[in-house]
Amino acid sequence: MFGTYLRRELVNRRKQTIIIAVGMALAIALVIIVNSVSSGVKDAQASVLQAVYGVGTDITVTQPATAETASAQQGPGGGRRFDFGAGAGTDTGAGRTVNTSRLEPTRGATVMDSTALTTVTKVPNVSAAAAVLSLTNTSFSGTLPNFQQRGEGGRGQGGTSSAPPTGGADGAGGSSFTVDSFSVIGLDPAGKSVGPLSSVTLSGGRAFSSADKGKDVVVLDAAYAKTQSKAVGDTVTIGGTEFTVVGIVAATGSDSTTAANAYIPLDVAQKLSAQTDKISSVYVTAKSSNDIAQIKADLTKALPTATVSTQADLASTVSGSLGTAGDLIANLGTWLSIIVLAAAFLIAILFTISGVTRRTREFGTLKAIGWSNRRIVGQVAGESVVQGVIGGVIGIAVGLIGVLVVNLVAPTLSGGVGNGFADAAGRVGREATGGSTAAPGGAGTGSGFGGAGGFGGGGGRFEAAGRTAASTTDIVLHAPVTVWVILIAVGLAVLGGLVAGAIGGWRASRLRPAAALRSVA
């Protein structure tokens, strides 16, 4: 009788069934889509983080920048500068060709004492830890006017010399420079279990080994090697030293780049950058994911001035459209799901209550002929649950179609990490042009080019390596559907039906048969 009555009610009260089912279907579909896209965004964030921090890094320890440390990295006048002596470079007749390279801590990535690594490894439940030094190699090459040949002619300030300027890149006193920078990470060549190289794939040559300590060998990021046309066996100048390329690595993600353009042994990096016994970060792997919170607490206690970040903390640092998508899902998507779900529940409850009220005589009659409250509550709840399940099934179908559409559209999200490491992974080759009309000041005794200016001459052009704010990675969003998502959807549909049925059934059970019959007499 239960099944027959239930079927007849659902079929013959089609309008109510459809409205409740559609409401529930919309909510369930939205939950599935938001959940799947959210998982996809999380995976993408993890992929970005993995590209930067490597596989298995649960916690990172860094030193926050202070006003002192930040200014200490800059030259006088607030900018970075290259200084050339009077005899610097090679005289080519028409001008002097200069070429220099410098390795220094990445702007924003403050260094700390390498004893931090020892401190970290002593913290309980730390499985592995690796220290890295995040650096930027900046090279300057170009042609300057031959100031010595020009003698006194170049002493005028702001190009006030009576003799027309000669020499330089354009033969008229101009200059042409290329300023190129790329990111370098110094790391322990023996450590492979944790750190930026733990997630890469070797696409050429070999990986670091403990024998590489103290050697001028470099492993290049595949994308960077391609842009610089470098292969295994070639040499790269880092901090004025020739390094031999022993390996080329690529990120495991399809379009990802690795954490830096170049990787060199830590001890060599410290020496070349004059950062003896200094490191930028420590990568930490916990023995168990359950230990992460406690390790973070212990590390914060052991290294009070350091910044200790878990993967969850780091996820919030992902920027770009990926960060925006993450925020959108976390805020709008989640709230929209909750609101639509609540609305669907409310619709189901209101329609069920309304149905019970409309069926007062029906339930009163059934009670009069001997139906127990339990049987009537079961009937009402059964109808609601089936309506919810119908909505759930439709919602799952619609949700899966929605997820399929997302995966077919496959939007590309760009993500980056806006901290020191990301800065280190800045891309090279951004071109900027500038010109000046005066001859270089102070000519004849050497030139000083700094961030504060100081250009003169008959016009010049320089290429500057731009540094992007973050290491950006393009990732195609894939929204996964898991069994859990389906189970959650079914659970919500059944729950919605149960809640509506319980409330409707409760109202039905409170009807006294006599009153129910009297109310319609």
Partner 1 sequence: MYTLTNVTKTYTQSKRNVTALNNVTLDIPDGQLVAIQGPTGGGKSTLLQMLGALDRPTSGTVQLESSSLSGLGDAKLTAIRATEIGFVFQGFNLIPTLTAQENVETALAPLKVTAAERKRRAAEALASVGLADRGNHLPSELSGGQQQRVAIARALVKDPDVLLADEPTGNLDEETRDEIMDLLEGLWRDRGLTLIIVTHDSAVAKRAQRRLHIKHGQVKDVA
> Which residues in this chain contact partner 1 in the complex, by CB under 8 A?
1, 4-5, 8-9, 11-13, 361-362, 364-373, 375, 512-514, 517-518, 520-521
Cβ proximity to partner 1: between 14 and 301 the closer is 14
For the bound state, the minimum distance from the C-beta of residue 1 to partner 1, rounded and expressed in Å, comes to 4
Cβ proximity to partner 1: between 425 and 508 the closer is 508
For the bound state, the minimum distance from the C-beta of residue 374 to partner 1, rounded and expressed in Å, comes to 9
For the bound state, the minimum distance from the C-beta of residue 44 to partner 1, rounded and expressed in Å, comes to 51
For the bound state, the minimum distance from the C-beta of residue 367 to partner 1, rounded and expressed in Å, comes to 7
Cβ proximity to partner 1: between 483 and 521 the closer is 521
Q: Which two tokens stand for residue 183?
A: 């990111």
For the bound state, the minimum distance from the C-beta of residue 502 to partner 1, rounded and expressed in Å, comes to 20
Cβ proximity to partner 1: between 67 and 521 the closer is 521
Cβ proximity to partner 1: between 324 and 360 the closer is 360
For the bound state, the minimum distance from the C-beta of residue 361 to partner 1, rounded and expressed in Å, comes to 6
Q: How many Å apart are CA 461 and CA 456, to the nearest integer?
A: 11
Q: How many Å apart are CA 425 and CA 200, to the nearest integer?
A: 15
Q: How many Å apart are CA 209 and CA 211, to the nearest integer?
A: 5
Cβ proximity to partner 1: between 67 and 369 the closer is 369
Residues 142 and 175 sit within 8 Å (Cβ to Cβ): yes
DSSP states along 78-104: GS-EEEE-TT-SEE-SSEEEEEEEEEE
Cβ proximity to partner 1: between 15 and 162 the closer is 15
Instruction: Tell me whether residue 78 is exposed, middle or buried, using C-beta atoms within 10 angstroms of its C-beta: 0 to 12, 13 to 18, 19 or more.
Output: exposed
For the bound state, the minimum distance from the C-beta of residue 369 to partner 1, rounded and expressed in Å, comes to 5
Residues 47 and 472 sit within 8 Å (Cβ to Cβ): no
Q: How many CA atoms lie within 13 A of 95 on its CB side?
A: 22
Spell out where 366-455 has E strands.
Answer: 412-417, 447-450
Q: How many Å apart are CA 394 and CA 344, to the nearest integer?
A: 14
Which of 225, 220, 229, 201 lies closest to 262 in space, CA to CA? 220
For the bound state, the minimum distance from the C-beta of residue 329 to partner 1, rounded and expressed in Å, comes to 43
Cβ proximity to partner 1: between 115 and 519 the closer is 519
Q: Which two tokens stand for residue 179?
A: 């300023």
Helices 14-53/483-509 angle, 10° precision: 150
**Which residues are registered as beta bridge partners of 98?**
142
Residues 457 and 145 sit within 8 Å (Cβ to Cβ): yes
For the bound state, the minimum distance from the C-beta of residue 360 to partner 1, rounded and expressed in Å, comes to 11
For the bound state, the minimum distance from the C-beta of residue 391 to partner 1, rounded and expressed in Å, comes to 20
Q: How many Å apart are CA 263 and CA 274, to the nearest integer?
A: 17
Residues 449 and 79 sit within 8 Å (Cβ to Cβ): no
Q: How many Å apart are CA 367 and CA 150, to the nearest integer?
A: 114
Cβ proximity to partner 1: between 5 and 335 the closer is 5
Cβ proximity to partner 1: between 226 and 510 the closer is 510
End-to-end CA distance of the chain: 27
Q: How many CA atoms lie within 13 A of 41 on its CB side?
A: 22
